[in-house]
């Protein structure tokens, strides 16, 4: 891919960069809306190597905001791979690029109480603020590999300790 060629991913990242400057209260929704038109494009990750991992879902960095305000990652899910039950320590927005993910919701508690599940299809987005009571788990309950795009409001180097509040 010629470095001067604008790609579908460039378009998504430009839209996300603008949306990430919205006031904090509107930012997660704005970022989700910015991603939505590009998510299901078959060429979104053209030229990007995003392999799956046999043991767990895996994260690939697509873009880190130079000012550290957010980072954009692709998550690759093989069938049966799931996140832990978690809430978020930062705002977030995600959408499905390819395949189908299942999002389980939980009510706060010890342990968190299952509240139901929704299928998330290509092009669909979700978003939320930092909130220890917004508890969910994403997973691939289908028979095909799935890829989702996620934006979190912290520098990529802090993803390990400032994104997920693990609850189960
Ligand atoms: Fe999450």
Task: Using pLDDT thresholds of 50, 70 and 90, give the confidence band for residue 3.
Answer: low
For ligand 1, the distance from its centroid to the CA atom of residue 103, given in whole angstroms, is 9
Mean pLDDT throughout 141-164?
96
pLDDT digits (tens, 9 = 90+) for 113-134: 999 999 999 999 999 999 999 9
Alpha helix (H) residue ranges in 98-141:
none
Coil, helix or strand for 139? strand
Question: Where residue 101 sits, what CATH number does that domain have?
Answer: 2.60.120.10
Evaluate the omega torsion of the peptide bond into residue 96 and state whether it is cis, within 30 degrees of 0. Answer: no
> What's phi and psi for 147, nearest 5 deg?
-135, 130
Which residue from 110, 101, 107 is spatially nearest to 83, judged by alpha carbons?
Answer: 101
Rg of the chain (C-alpha set): 15
- Say how many domains are in the chain: 1
Determine the distance separating the centroid of ligand 1 and the alpha carbon of 90, expressed in angstroms.
10
**Cα-to-centroid distance, 159 and ligand 1 (Å):** 12
The CB-side HSE value for 156 (13 A sphere, CA atoms) comes to 13
H or E segment and range at residue 81: none
Mean of per-residue pLDDT scores for the chain: 95
Structural domain boundaries, residue 160 = 3-166
Q: What is this structure's pTM?
A: 0.95
Residue-wise pLDDT tens digits, 12-43: 999 999 999 999 999 999 999 999 999 999 99
Question: How many A from CA of 74 to the centre of ligand 1?
Answer: 13
Question: What six digits make up the tokens of 20?
Answer: 């990430």
């Amino acid at each position: 891919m010629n470095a001067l060629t604008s790609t579908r991913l460039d378009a998504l990242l430009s839209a996300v960069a603008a949306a990430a400057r919205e006031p904090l209260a509107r930012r997660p929704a704005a970022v989700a809306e910015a991603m939505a038109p590009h998510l299901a494009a078959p060429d979104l990750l053209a030229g990007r190597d995003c392999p799956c991992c046999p043991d767990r879902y895996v994260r690939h960095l697509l873009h880190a905001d130079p000012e550290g305000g957010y980072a954009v990652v692709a998550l690759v899910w093989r069938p049966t791979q799931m996140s832990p039950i978690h809430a978020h320590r930062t705002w977030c927005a995600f959408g499905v690029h390819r395949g189908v993910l299942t999002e389980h919701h939980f009510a706060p508690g010890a342990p968190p109480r299952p509240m139901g599940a929704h299928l998330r299809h290509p092009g669909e987005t979700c978003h939320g603020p930092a909130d220890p009571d917004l508890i969910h788990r994403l997973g691939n309950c289908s028979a095909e590999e799935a890829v989702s795009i996620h934006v979190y409001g912290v520098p990529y180097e802090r993803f390990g300790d400032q994104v997920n509040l693990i609850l189960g």
